[in-house]
Amino acid sequence: MKEEVRKEICFRWKNSLQENLGMEVISASENRVEITMPVDARTRQGAGILHGGASLALAETVAGVGSLIACQPDETIVGTQVSGNHVAPAPDGDIVRAVGTIIHHGKTMHVWNVDIFRTDGRVVSTARVVNNVLKKK
């Protein structure tokens, strides 16, 4: 990961949703990103399983990190769409792992596929994320 991007990610995550939900970057490049997140009081819903909204926040974060790395220094990204399907529960105490791969790397738009897995390898959710690339002002 580019050092300047690592610093920007760390700066952006201070007092943020990502920090508050316990997300941790495992690996990141412009083509593939892996981030983990615990299933705990911050991320579970009333039935004691991972909240679908937390899954989508994780997916959007994965795609955002990858798109940020892929951008030029005079560019930034904004998420414009995230949609997902939740296919299995992740229980309290688990740590989910999201793996995103870019499927379209255009000049003004990036499209990512993000799969979220339980520690036993079962797919919890799958998501599609679209990011727009903008020139910094």
Catalytic residue numbers read 60
Runs of H (alpha helix) within the chain:
3-13, 17-20, 52-70
Q: 120 CB contacts (<8 Å, ≥6 apart)?
A: none
Tokens 């998420």 sit on residue: 79
- The span from the CA of 44 to the CA of 91, in Å, is 8
